[in-house]
Structure 1
Amino acid sequence: MGDNIALRQAIAELGISHAELAHRINEHTESVSGQYGTCNERTVHNWVAGKTGWPNAKQRAGLEAVFDCPAEQLGFTPRGQRPASPPEEPVRRRTFITAGPPAVAAVVAPMLASRRTVGLADVERANAGLQTLDALDDHQGGHVALERAALAGAQQAIDLQQNGTASERVRQRLFGVAAAYTATAAWSCIDSRAFDQARQHLDRCATLAGLARDSTAQLRVWNSIAILGNSQKRYGDAVAAARAAQASRTTRRDPLFASLAHARVAVSLANLGDRQAALRSIGFAGEALERTTDQPRPSWVAFYGPAELHVLTAIVYERLGNAEQAEGASHRALGTLPEQFRRNRALATARLALAQVRQGDAALAAHTATSVIDLMGGAALSGRVRTALGDFHRELLTLSATTPSAREWADRFRNEWNRP
């Protein structure tokens, strides 16, 4: 008799240890008979190893209660019968695993009514929509539909955690998924400049990240609070949040996250006018990025790399009043920014236009700014892009309001600003 593969896979999917499975079975026995059961870790080991082909009645009932399926589906064979061939994975489960995010939203909720156990496969299904939402943000930027979709994903993860029986490990993972979706909703609000909603989502995200004991999720919260603080000109808050991100366990483990945290500190210090400290921090960000190696990371941080560091370097120089170096950093950013980050490219281009107009080249700056609108291809501009173009617009009109290029830009900008 060989390994019981079906039981081994069921335990792995549930995300529990042999000892915890034994405890759950004994609890079921106690609920039925009033006496705690006698199953132990060795008993479970013998089942998985195939040494015991058919558990006794009490333990079998406990197994069926924990996994919510007949013992035969867990690889056991009644005495006197020949072992059956492993059943093909149920069609519903295979369809569920391969379905896209819309199907996940439709299928998870009905399954809760018929399942009492939640495992790691459920966590992965709940997590499946995050990459799609992050890609949508990269392409279009933050908007209400993205925020709502992210909050719906967070609620699905919470519902799974609250309505199903799960191991502590699985519960923590589900809280982590909920935190990731909520952080995406918060970021969408920051990008669309709905700051009050963003802060509410970040407060909720901080709680979920704590429940998940997920240092990367906690770092993401601090990163977003730093951006929010800079956006609202609460620069002291921004520095404190960026420093908290620097102190995260994740930044000590991964130079890429350390680089991002240093860059956020640099921008915040530049906003405070602390030139030397800001330049020192942006230098640390570059050194950390050089030490980065390829490894699995959450999809939300895919935006960060050499191109984004150039973008943040440009912002630092811009805040410190060095338009020439800001222009150079913006050019380097646009030369290395991956194609899929359309919104970030629009922002970098708007900042390039601002650096050019601050050097007195109104015609070139107006041409650069116009390309931002062309780049978005008729899609609505996110709040941050609109704000960056608004800053450029004011400076262009201050410098050269009557030139043909400035008037042409003003007409184009007015039409774009008045779009619904």
Structure 2
Amino acid sequence: MTSSTTTSSQPDRPVRPNVAFRQVRGRHSPAEFAALVRRAAREIGERVSCDARYIGRVEAGEIRCPNYAYERVFLHMFPGRTLADLGFAPRSSVRGRAARPPEDVPLVLAPGETQGAAEPYDPHEMRYPQDPYETHDNYEESDVLRRLFMTGGGATVAAATLGPLGFTIDAVAADRPVRRAGSSHAAALEEAVRRIRLLDDRHGADGLYRRAAAPLRAAYALLDAGATRQTTAERLHSGAGELAISVGWLAHDSGRFDDARSHYAEALATARMTGDPGLEAHAFCNTAFLARDAGRPREAVRAAQAAQRVGRPLGSARLMSLLALREAGGWAGLADRTGTEQALARAQALFERGHSDADPEWMSFYGEAELEGLEAQCWSMLGDWRRAARHAHRAAELQDPHFTRNIALYTAELADDLARGGRPDEAATAGMRVLDLLDQVQSSRIQGMLAGTARVLLPHRRASGVQEFLDRHASTPRVV
């Protein structure tokens, strides 16, 4: 990978600063105002990944019209005002044409891919209703997202688009040189990373992984092409690294451990090449998690400790809390109860320090539910089934309902802990709740956990509800 930078005489598109939005921010810093936006979103049940950079882009005029989720949040924050009052342009003028409803979005298939393969979430070809947060077909940068991932390699251009349920990919012949990347490309890449995470939160990794690989290749092609400005080059490197981690997680969660290891290593190399400690800590964090799941607990401990060394100067207690949990998972895999307990205590103490502006955007998933869920996994590996079940139950109860995949994961953990702890009837009840969610979530990890629970419950067929669970589990289609 190489990257060159030049000073562009003109930006990609003339922009005007949004003075009205700057005025409503008042004396708050961009980070403080972003925190207010996130809080307002929670008040109305929305979920936005707002940070200081987003506020800066709005005020600079780079975001001429917010997506629908942000629109609802801004109008909630400033009752009686319109988007125009806040300095935004009409949506029709930004798009240049009316937005099409989701069902009119053309479906583009990869060579050899069938229609059914492009609908990964339901084996019976039943479409899900459009996610209320997946608004990228209806806002300013959606056209950029469609055009962004264009890679010039000989006569081949790989075009990757984001459809209502995930990625659809096409390869078309063309002879088109790669242009230098601008700020709009960096912004679209960052938004693509956010969208992958949202889709994974709701549906799991199995249906997304294959579609996410092409945008990753295209992102690194943009790095090779170079950027118009140094700041843009830095955003592209960070975005490409985060995308590599996101794609690696999709591979990880769908059981493709070798692929995941490769993607995490790619992200780590990008981080070190550009001197990005935040990206490096993230790559080591996921590497530790993968090593634990792959049965390499000592490597998990080393990777988690490396992540803590590089992440400590970033000043995020929540990040350090998560990294301590990654270390605890490694110690649990080594059957080191003392090491596990010490790391868990450190994770809890750091977590209680609360949020800060230094918390990385990718950590939006890490709340009390995730803390409980990861602790449950540690106690499970140590064979303390009762304590594991208690934490898994709390994790499922605390999880935000938007995170469907995590609810299924924590409940599957609970079912397994109950089964191994000698409570087969309660395990069957929890297992049935997981089966109810499998029409929305496709995760090899979760299905593997349920299969293990079913094996443990086989000798307890006469316990209340167990036979019903076993029969329904046996008839549930498996992820291919």
User: Could you state the TM-score of these two structures normalised by the residue count of structure 2?
Assistant: 0.64
- What corresponds to 2:443 in structure 1? 382
- Indicate how the Cα distance of structure 1 residues 419 and 315 shifts in structure 2: closer, same or farther if over 3 A, else same: closer
- What corresponds to 1:348 in structure 2? 410
How far apart, CA to CA, are the structure 2 residues paired with 1:296 and 1:375?
A: 34
How far apart, CA to CA, are the structure 2 residues paired with 1:254 and 1:93?
A: 40
CA-to-aligned-CA distance 1:357-414 (integer Å, 9 cap, x gap): 22322112111111101023x235301101111221121124x145463322221111
Larger relative helix fraction:
1
- What corresponds to 2:196 in structure 1? 133
Question: By how many angstroms is 1:272 displaced?
Answer: 0.7
- What corresponds to 2:465 in structure 1? 405
How far apart, CA to CA, are the structure 2 residues paired with 1:298 and 1:314?
A: 24
How far apart, CA to CA, are the structure 2 residues paired with 1:317 and 1:165?
A: 48
- Code of the residue aligned with 2:440 in structure 1: it is A
Question: By how many angstroms is 1:278 displaced?
Answer: 0.3
Question: By how many angstroms is 1:209 displaced?
Answer: 2.0
CA contact under 8 A between 1:67 and 1:117: conserved in structure 2? no
- Indicate how the Cα distance of structure 1 residues 297 and 102 shifts in structure 2: closer, same or farther if over 3 A, else same: farther
How far apart, CA to CA, are the structure 2 residues paired with 1:110 and 1:236?
A: 41
- Code of the residue aligned with 2:147 in structure 1: it is V
Secondary structure in 2 aligned to 1:321? coil
Moved more, 152-161 or 130-139: 152-161
- Are 2:333 and 1:263 equivalent residues in the alignment? no
Q: What pairs up with 1:20-419 in 2 under 5 angstroms?
A: 66-67=9-10, 94-95=94-95, 99=139, 103-108=143-148, 118-144=181-207, 146-249=208-311, 252-295=314-357, 297-376=359-438, 378-379=439-440, 381-398=442-459, 400-403=460-463, 405-418=465-478
- Code of the residue aligned with 1:134 in structure 2: it is R
CA contact under 8 A between 2:180 and 2:222: conserved in structure 1? no
CA contact under 8 A between 1:68 and 1:115: conserved in structure 2? no
Counting aligned pairs with the same residue, the percent is: 26
CA-to-aligned-CA distance 1:170-202 (integer Å, 9 cap, x gap): 212211111111111100010000111111212
- Indicate how the Cα distance of structure 1 residues 93 and 233 shifts in structure 2: closer, same or farther if over 3 A, else same: farther
CA-to-aligned-CA distance 1:109-144 (integer Å, 9 cap, x gap): 679979965443432232122211101011111125
CA-to-aligned-CA distance 1:210-237 (integer Å, 9 cap, x gap): 2332212111211111111111111111
Structure of larger gyration radius: 1
Secondary structure in 2 aligned to 1:129? helix
- Indicate how the Cα distance of structure 1 residues 110 and 188 shifts in structure 2: closer, same or farther if over 3 A, else same: closer
Question: By how many angstroms is 1:169 displaced?
Answer: 3.0
- Code of the residue aligned with 2:233 in structure 1: it is R
- Code of the residue aligned with 2:451 in structure 1: it is G
CA contact under 8 A between 1:314 and 1:326: conserved in structure 2? yes
How far apart, CA to CA, are the structure 2 residues paired with 1:355 and 1:69?
A: 55
Question: By how many angstroms is 1:94 displaced?
Answer: 4.2
- Indicate how the Cα distance of structure 1 residues 255 and 272 shifts in structure 2: closer, same or farther if over 3 A, else same: same
Secondary structure in 2 aligned to 1:220? helix
- Indicate how the Cα distance of structure 1 residues 390 and 69 shifts in structure 2: closer, same or farther if over 3 A, else same: closer
Question: By how many angstroms is 1:275 displaced?
Answer: 0.4
Question: By how many angstroms is 1:356 displaced?
Answer: 1.4
- Code of the residue aligned with 2:148 in structure 1: it is V
- Indicate how the Cα distance of structure 1 residues 104 and 212 shifts in structure 2: closer, same or farther if over 3 A, else same: farther
CA contact under 8 A between 2:244 and 2:266: conserved in structure 1? yes
How far apart, CA to CA, are the structure 1 residues paired with 2:296 and 2:233?
A: 36
- Code of the residue aligned with 2:315 in structure 1: it is R
How far apart, CA to CA, are the structure 2 residues paired with 1:373 and 1:251?
A: 43
- Code of the residue aligned with 1:387 in structure 2: it is G
- Indicate how the Cα distance of structure 1 residues 93 and 220 shifts in structure 2: closer, same or farther if over 3 A, else same: farther
CA contact under 8 A between 2:241 and 2:268: conserved in structure 1? yes
CA contact under 8 A between 2:145 and 2:188: conserved in structure 1? no
User: Could you state the TM-score of these two structures normalised by the residue count of structure 1?
Assistant: 0.72
Q: Where do 5+ consecutive residues of structure 1 fail to align?
A: 1-15, 22-64, 76-88
CA contact under 8 A between 1:100 and 1:128: conserved in structure 2? no
How far apart, CA to CA, are the structure 1 residues paired with 2:375 and 2:15?
A: 57
How far apart, CA to CA, are the structure 1 residues paired with 2:196 and 2:12?
A: 35
